[in-house]
Structure 1
Amino acid sequence: MTEFVLVAGAKLGAWAWEDVVPGLRAAGHGAHALTLSGLAEKRGVPAGQQTHVRDIVDEVERRDLRDVVLVGHSYSGIPVGQAAERIGDRLARVVYVDASVPADGRSFLWGWDSGGVRAAIEENGGFWPPFSARDLEGQGLTEEQIGRIVRGATPHPGASLTEPAVLTRSPAELPATYVKCLLDWPEPSDDVTGHLRSERWELVEMDTGHWPMFSRPRELVRVLCEAAVGP
């Protein structure tokens, strides 16, 4: 039995996986949705990026999970990718769902035009503000789904976005599936393209937007189950 540990992206908590967890469990797997420190029901807990890495490692070790598939969506690919090398032989695979991938010494905000995000963090007491409905347009979401995300989102701790990742080896050395959501952007980023040259990585495309756990949860369950088996 595969044990999935599911970590949603910025501003979201474990609740974001409510439409995915039942499908994974119905398929015979364990499914553990995790809220990172400072978000959702853990709002107010001080957190940086390494706090989030520890959250994930601690969840795996506390539950004594084996044959673990770590699933990181969007921002959470950064702490998930670091946690993957720290849980050792407990790891079966990493799944990056339209996610950023960590690089040693680089932050989530490195390498793209992040001036607007940095300014928003500074103007909002060190937090990236929650989503507006406009942020979610054009991503294959219904009005109801957009409303659900907007209502549930919380401010995201800015330190987790600006702290550098700490890795001892390339993510390309660990078995991984990269799920590219085509409505968000049709091509993987250059760093992901580089990792996909590794025989340990595979690419899966979904014809939906950046939040498939809301827009296509059943399809995402299928993708995750297939990823657990590997290419």
Structure 2
Amino acid sequence: MADFILVSGAWLGSWAWEDVARDLRAAGHGAHPLTLSGLADKQHLPAGQQTHVRDIVDEVERLDLRDVVLVGHSYAGIPVGQAAERIGDRLAHLVFVDANVPVDGESFASLWWQGQPVFEAALEEGGGDWAPLNAADFDGQGLDSEQVARIASGSTPHPGATLTEPAVLERSLGELPATYVKCLLDGEEPNDDVADLLKSEHWRLVEMDTGHWPMFSQPRELARILHSCTRA
């Protein structure tokens, strides 16, 4: 059985994985949801992009885990992808859940679909942080009102430096065993960076008929997909 390090996207903490972690543990796996520095119960900690990479690597080493499946949702794909190459042979599989992937020398902001100036303007409006979404922003994502309230009430501002500092990669992620989970209600096609990686023989694509937060909308199905990655 594998040990899963579960890392949420922007604004969220380890609490977002409660339902998925429960099912993974019931299947006999280790499940270790992780809150990144500057978020949720760790809001008081300063954080940049490389801080988040270290958070993940340090957790693997602190728990002395082997056969590790690193799971990154949304923004967290960027630090998770960097951490994957840094934990060496401890890595069993890498999973991106409707996630960004790191590109060497690029940041979350520099790859923002509306352009970096638009994103940096949003950070300026948030006092340097990325403000959480409003309830209306979750429309069309396969979430009921209780699930939306749960996400919105638990969200905290996301530290801006983690979004503007560039990723650092030593080699192509295409060399690592990986699964990309595409949530179809958030767009039917992966972005170009992901599409290029999916050409690798080491990568596979799995689709979910739900929105961008499947750990809330379809936690059992997401846990099933994660479990299948231990046999990939």
TM-score tier by shorter-chain length is: over 0.9
Q: Does 1:85 align with 2:57?
A: no
> What letter matches 1:102 in structure 2?
P
Could you tell me the TM-score, scaled by structure 1's length?
0.98
Q: Does 1:213 align with 2:215?
A: yes
SS of 1:197's equivalent? coil
Shift of 1:3: 0.2
1:118 pairs, out of 99, 120, 127, with 120
> What letter matches 1:203 in structure 2?
L
Alignment of 1:132-211 (within 5 A): 132-211=134-213
Could you tell me the TM-score, scaled by structure 2's length?
0.97
| Counterpart-to-counterpart distance in 2, 1:59 and 1:34 | 8
> What letter matches 1:70 in structure 2?
L
- Percent identity (aligned): 70
Q: Does 1:23 align with 2:19?
A: no
> What letter matches 2:54 in structure 1?
R
Shift of 1:81: 0.1
Moved over 2 A (4+): 114-117
SS of 1:95's equivalent? strand
| Contact 1:117–1:128, Cα closer than 8 Å, also in 2 | no
| Counterpart-to-counterpart distance in 1, 2:21 and 2:118 | 34
1:130 pairs, out of 124, 132, 156, with 132
Q: How many residues align?
A: 230
CA-to-aligned-CA distance 1:139-174 (integer Å, 9 cap, x gap): 000000000000000000001011000000011110
Shift of 1:120: 2.0
2:229 pairs, out of 224, 227, 230, with 227
Could you tell me which residue of structure 1 aligns to residue 71 of structure 2?
A: 71
